[in-house]
Chain A
Amino acid sequence: MNKPSEIKEQLSPVTSEQRYIGMSEPRHGAKRLTEGNGKYIDDMSLPKMAHVVYWRSPVAHMKILKIIKEHALKMPGVIAVVDGNELATICKPWVATLSHLAGMKSAPQYPLAIDRACWQGEPVVAVVAKTRAQAEDALPFVEVEWEDLPALLDMQAALDPNSTIIHPELGDNICFKRSLDTGDVDAQFAKADVVASAEFRFGRHTGVTLEPRCQIADFGADGRLTVYHSFQAPHMMQDLYCRQFDLVESDVRVICHDVGGSFGIKVHAYPDDFATVGLSILLKRPIKFVADRLESYLSDIHAREHIIQGKIAVSKEGQILAFEIDDLTGIGPYSMFPRTSAIEGNQVVNLVGGPYKHLQYRANLNVVFQNKTPTCQYRGVGHPIACAVTEGLVDLAAMKLQMDPLEIRKLNVIPDDAYPYTGASGIKLEVLSHEQCLAKLEDLMDYASLRKEQEELRSQGIYRGIGIATLIELTNPSPAFYGVGGARIASQDGATIRLDPSGVISVAVSVGEQGQGNEAIFAQIAADAVGLPIEHVRLVTSDTSVTPYGGGTWASRGAGIGGEAVLLAGLALKENILKIAAAMLQVEASTLALKQGKVIDRMTNAEKLPLSEIGRVGYFRTDTLPKDLQADLTVTRHYSQKDFPFIFTNGVQASYVEVDTNTGFVKLLKHWAVEDCGRVINPMLVDEQMRGAIVQGIGGALFEECLYDDMGQMINGNMADYLVPMAAEMPDIEVAHVQTPTKSSLLGAKGAGEAGTAGAPGAVINAINDALAPFNVHSFDQPLTPEKILKALGTI
Chain B
Amino acid sequence: MSQKTTIRMTLNGQVITTEVEPRQHLVDFLRDDQFLTGSHLGCEQGACGACTVKLNGKIVRGCLVLAVQADQGTVETIEGLTATGNYKDLQQAFLKFNALQCGFCTSGMLLAAAELIEQKPSATREEVREWISGNYCRCTGYQAIVDAICFVLEERLAQVVHQS
Contact = CB atoms under 8 A, between A and B. Distances in A.
A693 B144 CA distance: 13
Given A261-B139, A694-B141, A727-B132, A292 B95 contact: no
Interface in B113-156: 128-130, 132-147, 150-151
Interface stretch (A26-34, A184-192, A355-363, A498-506): A26-34
Contacts, number: 175
B40 A211 contact: yes
B37 A43 contact: yes
A76 B133 contact: no
A34 B136 CA distance: 16
Contact of B50 (A28, A34, A210, A517): A210
B43 interface: yes
Contacts of A691: 140-141, 143-144
Interface string A667-701: 00000000000000000110010011111100000
Nearest to A760: B141
Interface string A425-469: 000000000000000000000000000000000000000000000
Contacts of B98: 26-27, 30, 517, 684-685, 688
Given A208-B138, A517-B98, A730-B142, A33 B42 contact: no
Contacts of A211: 40, 42, 102, 104
B99 to A, nearest CB: 9
22 contacts: A27-B98, A34-B91, A34-B95, A36-B78, A38-B104, A40-B40, A42-B31, A137-B1, A209-B104, A258-B103, A261-B104, A293-B42, A515-B101, A515-B102, A685-B98, A691-B141, A692-B101, A719-B45, A727-B146, A728-B129, A728-B133, A729-B133
Contacts of A212: 42
B78 A35 contact: yes
A757 to B, nearest CB: 11
A787 B147 CA distance: 33
B142 A695 contact: yes
A724 interface: yes
B109 to A, nearest CB: 10
Interface string A24-60: 0011101101111110101100000000000000000
Nearest to A211: B104
Contact of A292 (B36, B44, B146): B44
* A-B residue pairs, 7 tightest by C-beta: A36-B38, A33-B103, A260-B104, A515-B101, A515-B102, A695-B141, A36-B78
B100 interface: yes
Interface centre among A37, A261, A726 (most CB of B within 10 A): A726
B106 to A, nearest CB: 6
Contacts of B2: 76
Given A27-B98, A43-B37, A692-B101, 4 more contacts: A1-B147, A209-B104, A293-B43, A726-B142
Nearest to B147: A2
Interface of A: 1-2, 26-28, 30-31, 33-38, 40, 42-43, 76, 137, 207-212, 258-263, 292-293, 514-517, 684-685, 688, 691-696, 718-720, 724-730, 732-733
A38 B136 contact: no
Contacts of B31: 42-43
B38 A35 contact: yes
Contact of B102 (A258, A695, A726): A258
B interface SS class: loop
A727 B102 contact: no
B100 A514 contact: no
A246 to B, nearest CB: 34
A453 to B, nearest CB: 20
B47 A718 contact: yes
B82 interface: yes
A209 B42 CA distance: 9
A36 B144 contact: no
A30 B95 contact: yes
B38 A732 contact: no
A733 B138 contact: no
Contacts of B77: 36
A733 B141 CA distance: 9
Contacts of A514: 101-102
Nearest to A756: B141
A33 B142 contact: no
Given A35-B78, A36-B107, A260 B43 contact: no
B105 interface: yes
A208 B105 CA distance: 13
B48 A2 contact: no
Contacts of B91: 31, 34-35
B49 to A, nearest CB: 9
A37 B35 CA distance: 11
B147 to A, nearest CB: 4
A691 B98 CA distance: 11
B110 interface: yes
Contact of A34 (B45, B106, B151): B106
Contacts of A1: 147, 150-151
A210 B95 contact: no
A357 B41 CA distance: 49
B70 to A, nearest CB: 18
Given A40-B40, A719-B45, A26 B138 contact: no
A692 B141 contact: yes
Contact of B138 (A36, A261, A516, A685): A261
